[in-house]
Amino acid sequence: MSEPQSNAPLARTPLHGLHVELGAKMVPFAGYDMPVQYPTGILAEHNHTRSGAGLFDVSHMGQVRLDGAEAARALESISTADLQSLAVGRQRYDLFTNDQGGILDDLMVTNAGDHLFVVVNAACKVQDVAHMRRNIGQRCRITELADRALLALQGPGAAAVMARLAPASKEMVFMTGRALDVAGHACFVTRSGYTGEDGFEISVPASGAQALARRLLAEPEVKPVGLGARDSLRLEAGLCLYGHDIDTSTTPVEADLVWAIGKSRRPGGTSKGGFPGAAVIFEQLAKGPKRKRVGVKPEGRAPAREHTELTDSSGRRIGEITSGGFGPTAGGPIAMGYVEAAYAKVGTPVQAVVRGKPQPAHVAPLVFVKTRYYRG
């Protein structure tokens, strides 16, 4: 959960006052003063999201609107997804890449009908918007939606709550989005999230964000959840955190994110390539990468955290943990990281050097807890 910090004043989301009122412990994150947990604690918040509905403030994320007939084609020229075939109301996970095939950011793109709705990571949003303006600003209109908040309602109880407050949400399935009235607020809603659970992300005008959050929290299934549980939830679901598990030094092939490259844009596809670093990425697809992102399951109770060295049985370094901690639902320590490709097979024994001592571990599937996305 650590993020590089500067001496600049911390920004506040439209829900900052509500977090303080609810007794949240506030911490710096991506330049914002954000709630890491509430008085019930991270474990309780994690478990509640798995059993009920957790409400997360993710207003620090960047929200961007792209308008114009060329918007999809333009965005495709700097990212990996197949966006020209993206149907109205559908959403895709996408990657910005550089000329070396490294990942500049991961993002979500929704075809909202008359525009593309894009959500980018908080720590990257300034450079992402600049990247889009510089490379495709002459082909489409780019508007940063700085006047909107973003709420995530996640968990098996989320659908029932949304059905009461926005009945049309019942028609939505995983990775779809549409404009909805949510308890009297004009919102843009996607059925997606970052927890492995069914859920929704709700873009709402900043002026109404606190009222909508209070309305959601008034529902019996809903409790506030902070960044601490968001991190443990996404780790159990095998989801990457930008700046930790993926960055400009990792390619989609190394990161096990080839599925984020549209099939039509891969070798042999009808519109192959066309994005930065495609040649490097295609070479890795053909020859295999030298390292791969994998799940790691320590065999004891001690968690293997970020930057923990991974070795083979002889003590030779073969990789490193990029995210790690205790998985409450998984029932023990879990991690993900990169290992030499020869060690990437599930079940391969490795050692995690925790506090200077090698501890037994093994390569595990990246998803530690079964995901429950609603696909209809």
Those residues with Cβ within 8 angstroms of residue 314's Cβ, 6 or more apart along the chain or in another chain: none
Shared domain for 179 and 324, answered yes or no, is no
Q: Say what the alpha-carbon torsion angle 110, 245, 343, 80 is, to the nearest 10 degrees.
A: 30
Q: Is position 247 within any domain?
A: no
Predicted local confidence at residue 6, as pLDDT: 56
Shared domain for 181 and 53, answered yes or no, is yes
Predicted local confidence at residue 185, as pLDDT: 98
In this structure, what token pair is assigned to residue 160? 């029932």
Which domain range does residue 170 map to?
16-58+147-236
Domain termination residue (choose one: 236, 264, 282): 236
Whole-model pTM?
Answer: 0.96
Interval 201-221: pLDDT, tens: 999 999 999 999 999 999 999
Shared domain for 50 and 156, answered yes or no, is yes
Q: Which amino acid is present at 197?
A: E
Predicted local confidence at residue 327, as pLDDT: 98
Predicted local confidence at residue 8, as pLDDT: 79
Shared domain for 346 and 220, answered yes or no, is no
First to last CA, the chain: 33
Domain termination residue (choose one: 219, 236, 253): 236
- CATH code: domain of residue 366: 2.40.30.110
User: Can you give the C-alpha Rg of the chain in angstroms?
Assistant: 20
Q: Is position 273 within any domain?
A: no
* Residues of the chain below pLDDT 50: 1-5
Number of Cα atoms under 13 Å in the Cβ half of residue 172: 30
